[in-house]
Amino acid sequence: MSDLFHVSAAPHIRRPITTRNIMRDVTIALIPASLFGIFNFGLRALLVILVTIIACVATEYFYCKGMKKKVTTGDYSAVVTGLLLALNLPASLPLWMAVVGGVFAILIVKMLYGGLGQNFMNPALTARVFLHISFLARMANFTVEKISSPNVNDYLKNGAIAVDGVTGATPLAALKAGETVDLFKMFIGNTGGTIGETSALALLLGAGYLLCKKVISLRIPFTYILTLVIFVVIFGGQGFDIEFILGHILGGGLLLGAFFMATDYVTCPVSAKGQIVYGIFLGIMTGIFRVVGNGVEGVSYAILIGNMVMPLIDSATYPRPFGKERVQSEK
């Protein structure tokens, strides 16, 4: 009898990983993009990041206290929501709007649906879209003041790392207008855009960290990006133009969305097959918004629509329990 294995009832803990560990790793992975955003846009970007995070954490804390529930701010999920939301905002956004976005993300999208794991849409992206609809002019303003004599004081006051400054025109807008783009600047990040979307290098460093820690897999990001590339080649009107294709990959919030928000455990499919289908869906939707639509972006809307159809993808692709079909056939 001593040689027998004793197996307890499910669920079985396979790895000592908690929600707190995962959220901590995501926060670490977002540090390169956050630091470059501060470097690129100045102290104003840091203020937006801090204010948004504080608004998210405070909203969750006071909601739990007011509803006499266990305070869940210790799992860092509110910190991640606040940081992701801030990285999707322009540095020029008024701070009170960042607060409104943080409160909306936590209170309306997360806590009123039951808290972490119960929300059916990504809180940070939903709040970004809410702000975009409510304050379109402010959310589309990516202009930061030029620095005529780059020194520490001017940088802290105004932002913009170089004498040339960072203009309000985004690379995707230039592509849409048929203009050429500087792919090197897009890769490094000295372009117009939101705080966290401009530097492809910083985002890839963070994505590499998450992949090494096995927090995410490549299924959704790779399928998402590949599908968008195929869509752009077929319907973009430029054929297999490398500059045009790389402009769509490096520009906008594609890398930020593909690696950090489309892979959200709560709002993406569970099975490997479902994740591939989900990635294809996101790529097609983003292509429609970018190429066919009047706008130049589309990642946020594509992921939110994907969140809503995710249950259908899950139900169609989730593997059946062993023996289920046989039992049904016997009946």
What does the domain layout of the chain look like in residue ranges?
19-162+174-317
Q: What is the pLDDT of residue 308?
A: 94
Give the span between the Cα atoms of 283 and 162, in whole angstroms.
34
Token pair in block for residue 182:
């500087």
Instruction: Tell me what pLDDT residue 163 has.
Output: 35
Q: What local confidence, expressed as pLDDT, does residue 329 receive?
A: 47
pLDDT the model gives residue 325: 57
End-to-end CA distance of the chain: 39
What pLDDT score does 164 carry?
Answer: 44
For the record, the structure tokens of 204 come out as: 């890839």
The whole model's pTM is what? 0.86
Residue pointed to by tokens 């009170």:
96
What is residue 324's predicted lDDT score, i.e. its pLDDT? 57
Report pLDDT for 327.
46
Domain 19-162+174-317: which topology? Ammonium transporter fold (1.10.3430)
Question: Would you report the helix, strand and coil content of the chain in percent, each value rounded to 5?
Answer: 65, 0, 35
Alpha helix ranges (H) inside 193-287: 200-212, 219-235, 242-250, 254-260, 272-287
Give the pLDDT score at 55: 97
Which parts of the chain register pLDDT below 50? 1, 156, 160-165, 326-327, 329-331
